[in-house]
Amino acid sequence: MLTDKKIILGISGSIAVYKVADWIRALRRAGAEVQVVMTEAAARFVAPLTFAALSGNKVYEGMFDPNDAEQIPHINLAAGADLILIAPATAQTIARLAHGMADDLLSALVLANKSPVILCPAMNSNMYLNSATQNNLAQVREYGYRVVDPDSGSLACNTEGPGRLVDWSSAKEVIYSALSQQDLAGRKVLITAGPTREPLDPVRYLGNRSTGRMGFALATTAKRRGADVTLIAGPVTLPDPPGINVIRINTADEMAGEVLDRSQDMTVVVKAAAVSDFRPATYSANKLKKATAKSTLDLTSNQDILKTLGKKKLEGANPILVGFAAESHDFIKEGWRKLRDKNIDLLALNDITADDAGFAVETNRITLLDQDGTEEKFPLLSKEETADLIWNRVVDLLNK
Ligand code: CTP
């Protein structure tokens, strides 16, 4: 995603300086070239040498370094940048930017720059909450700079409150959004993810091996592309992705309620969840005891949520429907049957017999089927890359 992107990391002087050392490594692992610019104060916390070694590039500090004079660093660095990330952004640096000042290299290059600017503030809570800082943040937002609100918690100065530098996972999403095409902007997208659990008694349930990774990857990538995302997730251990409305459910029945209530307002519904087709016919409020329990289980069918949505579509309902099918045999034939039977616009097929695709792994290898009869097979990819391919096809359908 960040291959060949040139990111300027502007570091200003807060105790959180040491945390961004890891961010440089993550950016480089994702393919970016990182150019570090430090303010004078930042260089007092951690030596520029650390950032030079981690970024693989010279660190720029001053406007008037005689070694770089002929390069006019504030102009040339700005000209080559795809994005400027300022982390940690101190009250002082935010104030400089809010007032259009250009009295150090970092502020001068932000002024000379035309690429997206992201600020990750980090400071003492009182400094952060001070009206002067809040007004400055409102001002830089008005200039179009993106501000990633700091986390709340215990701070290095022994106080509690907002002001902690955000985690890399939150900063990363804002960076990826800033560099993504906003081709789902304004689109309301509903995604289901994970397994469902159908309880038998207070300790036992029917479930499946889904981990939710594919659905969460779809939610994250849709958000990056500008969508307004609602994620309805079964019981999985994944944390809520930043900026997404996450609704946690347990049973297929609860999932059906949440999906059907919302589907009419949506542009796209993606059913990546592995929904249980059946539930125990009766639920025992007391734990079943082996001395008295039956050795067979009576089951009742759950509603097929996607099929219900497909029927509503025949009656004129809106959303584009994307389904998933995990198959162990006859998988293309089964895929076409499900696409037609459930009236789905796009179906992503997995062969679950492969060790590297489908359930409980980081990668996927899908074949996409659509209503025009197109069958497109993709290679083994990460779940995020797979999700992006699905969104490319959804965008094509939306533009049709
Ligand atoms: N699905 C659903 N509601 C159900 C069962 C499945 O919405 N009760 C959705 C899944 O989220 C998926 C698609 O239907 O997008 C296909 O699910 P799958 O389990 O492969 O298909 P089934 O219809 O259950 O068919 P089978 O059990 O015969 O493979």
Choosing from 152, 178, 204, the residue where a domain stops is 178
Same domain, 227 and 373: yes
183 assigned to some structural domain: no
User: Hey, whose CA ends up nearest to atom 8 of ligand 1?
Assistant: 304
- The confidence score (pLDDT) of residue 152 equals 95
Which among 126, 159, 178 is the end of a domain? 178
Could you tell me which of 257, 231, 239, 270 has the C-alpha nearest to residue 391?
A: 270
Domain that holds residue 372: 188-279+299-399
Length of the chain: 400
**One domain for residues 379 and 270:** yes
Instruction: Look at residues 178, 209, 227 and tell me which one is the last residue of a structural domain.
Output: 178
Establish whether residue 304 lines the binding site of ligand 1, counting it when its CB lies within 6 angstroms of any ligand atom.
yes
Could you tell me the CA-to-CA distances from 302 to 167, 279, 307, 389 in Å, in that order? 40, 7, 12, 30
User: Are 190 and 269 spatial neighbours (Cβ–Cβ below 8 Å)?
Assistant: yes
Residue 12's pLDDT band (cuts 50, 70, 90): very high
Question: Which of ligand 1's atoms lies nearest the C-alpha of 252?
Answer: 8
In this structure, the dihedral spanned by the alpha carbons of residues 245, 130, 13 and 25, taken in order and rounded to 10 degrees, is 0
pLDDT digits (tens, 9 = 90+) for 266-320: 999 999 999 999 999 999 999 999 999 999 999 999 999 999 999 999 998 789 9
358, 350 Cβ separation under 8 angstroms: yes
**How many CA atoms lie within 13 Å of 123's alpha carbon, on the beta-carbon side?**
21
- Whether residues 239 and 351 fall in one domain: yes
Contact present, 64 and 35 (Cβ < 8 Å): no
Q: Is the CB of 326 under 6 A from ligand 1?
A: yes
- Over the stretch 126-168, which tens digit does the pLDDT of each residue have? 999 999 999 999 999 999 999 999 999 988 888 889 999 999 9
Section 170-198 average pLDDT: 97
Q: Residue 364 — φ and ψ, nearest 5°?
A: -150, 155
- The average confidence (pLDDT) of the chain is 95
Ligand 1, atom 21, lies closest to the CA of 325
CA 335 from centre of chain: 28
305 lines ligand 1 (CB under 6 A): yes
Q: Is residue 258 domain-shared with residue 325, that is, in the same domain?
A: yes
Indicate if ligand 1 lies below 6 Å from the C-beta of 275: yes
Q: How far is CA 144 from CA 8, 61, 140, 181, 188, in A?
A: 17, 25, 7, 17, 23
Q: Are residues 125 and 241 in the same domain?
A: no
> Residue 258 sits in a domain of what CATH number?
3.40.50.10300
H or E element at residue 322: strand 320-327
Domain check: are 122 and 41 in the same one? yes
Residue 89 above 90 pLDDT?
yes
Is 284 inside any structural domain?
A: no
Tell me: do 240 and 317 sit in the same domain. Answer: yes
Q: Minimum mean pLDDT among 60-69, 136-145, 200-209, 212-221: which range?
A: 60-69
Closest approach atom of ligand 1 to CA 273: 11
Note whether 174 and 196 are same-domain residues. no
**Same domain for 192 and 173?**
no
Question: Which pLDDT value is given to residue 250?
Answer: 98
128, 194: one domain: no
Tally of structural domains, the chain? 2
DSSP 146: E
Q: Which tops the pLDDT comparison, 203 or 330?
A: 203
Q: How far apart are CA 314 and CA 175, in angstroms?
A: 40
Residue whose structure tokens are 């992705």? 241
Give residue 364 CA to ligand 1 midpoint distance, Å.
18
For ligand 1, whether the C-beta of 273 sits within 6 Å is: yes
Whether 326 and 243 map to the same domain: the answer is yes
User: H/E element holding 192?
Assistant: strand 188-193
| Residue 155 resides in a domain | yes
pLDDT per position as a tens digit, 54-74: 999 999 998 877 777 677 788
pTM, full prediction: 0.92
252/353 same-domain check:
yes
Q: Which of 263, 241, 113, 267 is nearest to 177 (CA)?
A: 241
Residue with the smallest CA separation from ligand 1 atom 4 is 304
Q: Is residue 294 part of a domain?
A: no
Tokens of 292: 């008295």
Q: Which residues are catalytic, by number?
A: 157
